Amino acid sequence: MSTIKLTVNGEARTVEVEPSTPLLYVLRNDLDLRGPRFGCGLGQCGACTVLIKGEAVRSCVRAVSTVQGAEITTLEGLARDGVLHPLQQAWIDEQVPQCGFCQNGQILTAKALLDRNPTPTDAEIREGMSRTLCRCMTYYRIQAAIKRAATALQSTRSGNEEVRR
Amino acid sequence: MSAPSRRDFLKTSGMLVVGIGAASVTGADGPTFAAVQGTGAAQSAGPYPDVDFRQLDSWIVVRADNTATFYVGKTDLGQGTGTAFRQIMADELDIAYDKTSCVMGSTDITVDQGGSGGSDALQTDGWPMRRVAAEARRVLLEMASSRLGVPVAGLVVAEGVVSGAADPSKRVTYGELIGGKRFNITLTGRNVDATTGVAPIKTVQQLKNVGQSPQRYDIPPKVDGTAKWAVDVKLPGMLHARNVKPPLAGATLVGIDESSVRGIPGFVKVVSKGNYVAVVCEREEQAIRAARQLKVDWRKPATAPFPASDGLFTYMRGATPTSSATPVVVGDPDAARAAAARVVEADYDVPFQGHTALGPAHATADPTNDQLTIYSNDMKSYGLRNGVARFLNMPRDRVRVVWMEGPQAYGRTAADDAGFEAAFLAKELGRPVRVQWMRQEETAWDTKGPAYAVKMRGALDAQGNLVAIEYDACAADHNHLGYNEFDTVLIAQLTGQRKAEPARGRASYPSDMYAVPNRRMAGRVVPLPLVWETPLRTGNLRDPDGPQVTFASESFIDELAAAAKADPVEFRLRLLTASTEDDSGFRRARSIACIKAAAEKFGWDARPSPRARGAGDILTGRGIAYAYRSQTVVAEIAEVEVNRKTGHVWVKRLVSAHDCGLVVNPEGLRRTLECGMLHSLSRALHEEVRFDTERVTSVDWISHPTLTHADAPASIDIVIVNGDPNPNRPDLPHYGAGETVCKPMLAAVANAIFDATGVRLRRVPFRDARVLAALKAAGV
């Protein structure tokens, strides 16, 4: 067991675990953050996704010792001041989830995608999301929600630019 | 206690499963989803007798603040049935939708409606829900009549407020009438489905919420991270377990070297019985490590458990059946075939396909107080409760199942292995135990949809009319699993507590309304060599046989249309309109309406298939298929692009016309249908359980691919059809939805590929290599 220091959703957290423990189990079992979920433990499905330094990372195959000091964001940390992130709102507006088990990974992968490319084409959305699996097959609505959120984020940005002018 | 009393409701409604956080209890929306899901999960000592469905208080609680909670014995697999239940019950009760909430599927506080399955949530269970809500309204009106001194006939109700029709100043709320008291009304009905009071239900025209699309109440917590799932349960003193499965199918346990894991921090115990082995540790990652590290000696079975998947269909066709259904014969197919101008024959193969839920099987069991509480996502939570009680030889009223959200599994939890295992281990350890399967374990060992090999034969006369059709199915479905049976779940098999006789299984027949004068339908079930303790266990996978059967029957109708040089839509409509015989559900009229509606929405141009092949790399085509399930009818059209250089198939556009009678929540229905079609599309394009002669080799998302974002169609159009001859009838039933839509997709895609390329694929799935090989063989 080692003392591991993490920064999760803006808070400093300390846990006593084996350094090789996958981040997923620390988040879920030690820090009670249940957004990331176990789907495969192989980095294949994306249900365990978290954001680390803005990148979508599969926490089931990332040793906790390797992410010390990095800013980790989970689904629970996406809202700001009680206001849902535009992606989360788009997920509600489009009524995306069926069971919802994978949607943590879908939303956070989409977040990283839009941060990288605020105006993705349909093909870029398909490609960027293609490794994040959903067995309810909500893909069609997810893609619609990403486009909706991209539009909302664009109008927020242009609004901010007007204010700055 | 036979019904959840208000006192109990208030006592538990604010308490979540210990250790998984807190949520507000009530808001403008009534009790929040998170709070409601935790209802009843607080630790109480039991016993947990059956909830009496003949007591109105078992179904409905109305609080002083004029909010109502509905208690129903169903589970929501993510298709919005909870929202729909609130809509229909709010309508009958005459209370605002947003003042209601719904508690589902926990065995000690909701009546046993069997949980979910068979797309029957609204079709079957919606009726008693409507009747009990109507009865509650009747009782409340009588109470209001006494309170206000106005005859019932002189009262009006709106959103839980009763007032005098002539004197609106006389008013009282439901909450003022009943809040703090029980209804104490006894209902009648020989079983839960027949439960009724004396009040009549409303006509379709009187329903206000039905037909609207309130957003699903479970979605916001699912996107902000506050939803509580069965995987999230965390109890004081809880241990983590992982199974160690036989590495070869049918292997026998010889010995366990416990010293191989004793040094692992947090190691608690190795539990084994028969061929069942599990390791238990304090922490989850420790249990995973211990399960990987445990040294176990297994003895290989003397004979191969099954043929390799490449030889499956040859094996099935030659195997001795374990059971055969009596063929259904209409007319004289042999004579008609002998006299026909043309006979067409074809064989169709659908492999085993898995449930492969995104989250593997899981459950947590708490043995505190000499009882068992199982926190589970089991769609059939009542069956799990009964099965566990028998498996562990405990009184039923000492076992309860608290139903919570889980990964959609399309029938997987009908045989809820993890629930039984958690219960078994918790009893062994005397502490709460959380079990979760690993990915490779789940994909290899979950229940499978049975493989089908179907021979079709059809006879056309000189004018291209179909005069005879023959269907002969062979299903690898011997020992089809029951619903949470204590003697057929996997742990019962592995621990040697299995039943003596395997279930017969079945070979199903197609569902269509085609009028063909001569017809034969036959089916037989064949076994694989290894009957028990096999990873090729068959169970109910979302319309258990429909996709397989309809792949054969509706591909073949297309082949016949092509042989007759007829347009595939026109050919089907000709077969449907050749008879006026119908049934009580107007299935023929509704079949015709759906096919026409789909063709119209698609912009179908009438012509025979295949089309003239284009010259480029991308070949496009369209195909239709249709089926019904119970009273629900669907027609689906797929437009495909086939890459002749790679064999890759992209289904670019889907159109579905669907008639399930009265639609409660149209937007919820659309999404359920979209996803159901795409699940079936995944089965058409990707899914196959592969195995060698020792073990299943499809074990993860690489070796067992699924549909991805890259496969999603560019457009999906859903046409909601009401093909009833009297569409405005006041008693229009709400039929089921969910599974019917899964049936035609495999055939629709195959028919579209044929239209595009002229090449007929008779073997699922249509992976690139298979399609490319077929194209090359045909010189495309």
Residue A25 at interface with chain B, using a CB cutoff of 8 Å: yes
Separation of alpha carbons B615 and B620, rounded Å: 11
Given a cut of 70, whether residue B39 has pLDDT beyond it is: no
pLDDT tens per residue across span B177-209: 999 799 999 999 999 999 999 999 999 999 999
* Structure token pair of residue A99: 């069971």
pLDDT digits (tens, 9 = 90+) for B453-494: 999 999 999 999 999 999 999 999 999 999 999 999 999 999
Q: Which of B94, B93, B128, B87 is CA-nearest to residue B111?
A: B128
pTM (2 decimals)? Answer: 0.95
Number of neighbours of residue B720 by Cβ within 10 angstroms: 16
The model's pLDDT over B624-639, given as tens digits with 9 standing for 90+, comes to 999 999 999 999 999 9
Domain range holding A129? 86-164
Q: Does B701 touch chain A (CB under 8 A)?
A: yes
Q: Are B56 and B175 in contact (CB under 8 A)?
A: no
Tell me, letter by letter, the H, E, C secondary structure of chain A.
Answer: CEEEEEEECCEEEEEEECCCCEHHHHHHHHCCCCCCCCCCCCCCCCCCEEEECCEEEEHHHCEHHHHCCCEEECHHHCCECCECCHHHHHHHHCCCCCCCCCHHHHHHHHHHHHHHCCCCCHHHHHHHHCCCCCCCCCHHHHHHHHHHHHHHHHHHHHHHHHHHC
Token pair in block for residue B758: 């002229």
Per-residue confidence at B30, pLDDT binned at 50, 70, 90?
very low
CB contact under 8 Å between B358 and A95, yes or no, is no
- B47: preceding bond cis by omega (within 30 degrees): yes
pLDDT(B75) > 90: yes
Q: How far is CA B612 from the centre of its chain?
A: 40
CA angle B747, B752, B756 (to 5 degrees): 150
Q: What is the pLDDT of residues B581-618, one digit of tens each?
A: 987 789 999 999 999 999 999 999 999 999 999 899 99
CATH code, A143: 1.10.150.120
Select B232-301+361-436's CATH number: 3.40.50.720, 3.30.365.10, 3.40.1190.20, 3.40.120.10: 3.30.365.10
Q: Which residues contact A151 (CB under 8 A, 6 or more apart)?
A: none
Model pLDDT, residue A158: 80
Q: Does domain B6-228 have CATH number 3.30.70.260?
A: no
Contact A151, A138 (CB under 8 A): no
Last residue of a domain, one of A27, A48, A77: A77
Tell me, what's the ipTM?
0.97
A1 vs B10, more confident: A1
The CATH class that applies to domain B567-777 reads alpha beta
Across the interface, whether the CB atoms of A130 and B672 are under 8 A apart is answered no
Residue B739, pLDDT > 70, answer: yes
For residue B195, give the H/E element and its range.
none
Q: Check CB contact of B284 with chain A, cutoff 8 Å.
A: yes
- Measured between its terminal Cα atoms, the distance across chain A in Å is 54
Banded pLDDT at A164 (limits 50, 70, 90): low
Domain with CATH 3.30.365.10 in chain B: 6-228, 232-301+361-436, 567-777
Residue B378 at interface with chain A, using a CB cutoff of 8 Å: no
Show residues of chain A in contact with B232, CB under 8 Å. 28, 34
- pLDDT band of residue A161 (cuts 50, 70, 90) is low
CA distance B357 to chain A (A): 6
* Side-chain-facing half-sphere of B85: CA atoms under 13 Å: 29
B263 close to A (CB below 8 A): no
The total of structural domains in chain A comes to 2
- B721 three-state secondary structure: coil
Closest-CA residue to B520 (of B560, B470, B474) = B470
Mean pLDDT (whole number) for A11-36: 97
Q: For the segment B97-124, what is each residue's pLDDT rounded down to a tens digit?
A: 999 999 999 999 999 999 999 999 999 9
pLDDT digits (tens, 9 = 90+) for B639-665: 999 999 999 999 999 999 999 999 999
Same domain assignment for residues A104 and A156: yes
Mean pLDDT of A15-25: 97
Segment 667-696 of chain B within 8 Å of chain A by CB: 667-668, 671-672, 674-675, 678-679, 681-682
Which one of A37, A133, A135 would you mutate to disrupt binding with B, by most B Cβ within 10 Å of its Cβ?
A: A135
For residues B296 and B261, what is the distance between their CA atoms, to the nearest angstrom? 11
Instruction: Give me the mean pLDDT over the B344-354 stretch.
Output: 98
Q: Which amino acid is at B234?
A: K
Which residues on adjacent β-strands are paired with residue A133? none
Residue A114 and residue A67 in one domain = no
Q: Of A44, A77, A110, which residue is a domain's last?
A: A77
CATH number, residue A53: 3.10.20.30
Q: Stretch A92-114: mean pLDDT, rounded? A: 98
| Residue of B20, B76, B224 to mutate when probing chain A, most A C-beta within 10 A | B224
A28 and A58: one domain?
Answer: yes
How far apart CA B168 and CA B158 sit, in angstroms, is 12
A140 in the same domain as A158? yes
With residue B332 as reference, give the H or E element that holds it. none
A92 with A57, same domain: the answer is no
Q: Are A46 and A104 members of one domain? A: no
Q: What integer pLDDT is reported at residue B42 of this predicted model? A: 45
> What is the distance between the alpha carbons of residues B291 and B258, in angstroms, rounded to a whole number?
11
Indicate whether A108 and A147 sit together in one domain.
Answer: yes
**B530-557: average pLDDT:** 97
- Do A37 and A15 fall into the same domain? yes
Tokens linked to B137: 């309204």
Cis upstream peptide for B765 (omega within 30°): yes
The more confidently predicted of residues B398 and B28 is B398
- Estimate the crossing angle of helix A139-164 against helix A122-129, to 10 degrees: 120
Residue B7 C-alpha, separation from nearest chain A C-alpha, in angstroms: 31
